[in-house]
Structure 1
């Protein structure tokens, strides 16, 4: 059975959410296997991809050149909300 993009994104979000929610603020400056990113930079990168792919689903322009800091306030909860919006955006016919 072929899965839709929305279904694939939902499966990816289901795996990513517990990992992201499990990150303690004290871990944000830790290294990752990718030399370019510490944990904060990697989470920001994930946010950037999620937000920009929402725009792409709506056939809007996406700007991957900006590097905003999404890791503020309730960023864990916001990541869950943004991934839910991403899944919904790609579930719209024509996306």
Structure 2
């Protein structure tokens, strides 16, 4: 992948994270069981899916092998909103790094 493409992916992820992190940070605990347009996911399941994607795509940026076989309940942990923001930041860094 060229440096230009790397920068583009990193920039796109930075924009997406900039939009998503505040939105996700505003989700209150009472809403976690609410349905989403996808019948397979309530809000908690969708957030855990997003967490898994963010973490596993960091692995992909480092040319590793991601593990999508499990979706841990990261939303059950205290500070999950801040943790999502931190992981999104790591994702942006990973895809902005040379060689990603």
What range describes the TM-score normalised by the shorter chain of this pair?
over 0.9
In structure 1, runs of 5+ residues without a counterpart are: none
Alignment of 1:14 with 2:18, yes or no, is yes
Alpha-carbon distance between aligned partners in 2 of 1:29 and 1:70, rounded to the nearest angstrom: 15
Alignment of 1:44 with 2:48, yes or no, is yes
TM-score by length of 1: 0.95
* Greater fraction helix: 2
In structure 2, runs of 5+ residues without a counterpart are: none
CA RMSD of aligned residues (A): 1.1
Correspondent of 2:31 among 27, 31, 44: 27
Say which structure, 1 or 2, has more relative contact order (CA 8 Å, 6+ apart).
2
The Cα shift of 1:73 comes to 1.0
Deviant stretches of 4+, over 6 Å: none
Q: How many residues align?
A: 94
TM-score by length of 2: 0.90
